[in-house]
Amino acid sequence: MTTSIAAWVFDYNNHRPHSALGYRTVTEATNQLRTTSTGR
């Protein structure tokens, strides 16, 4: 069961775009936020 939950979390964060994040994945939105906040 833990493996299937981990797989779902990975899919959710890396492959599923979210409308609240401008149709980006959680990973894409996080990376953009980090880049923007550090000025890189």
pTM of the model: 0.68
Q: Which residues contact 24 (CB under 8 A, 6 or more apart)?
A: 17, 18, 32
Model pLDDT, residue 30: 94
Instruction: Break the chain into its structural domains and give their ranges.
Output: 2-38
pLDDT band (50, 70, 90) for residue 39 = low
CB 26 within 8 A of CB 12: yes
pLDDT digits (tens, 9 = 90+) for 17-38: 999 999 999 999 999 999 887 7
In this predicted structure, the answer to whether residue 40 has a pLDDT above a threshold of 70 is no
The DSSP symbol for 23 reads S
Tell me the pLDDT tens digit for each residue of 1-14: 789 999 999 999 99
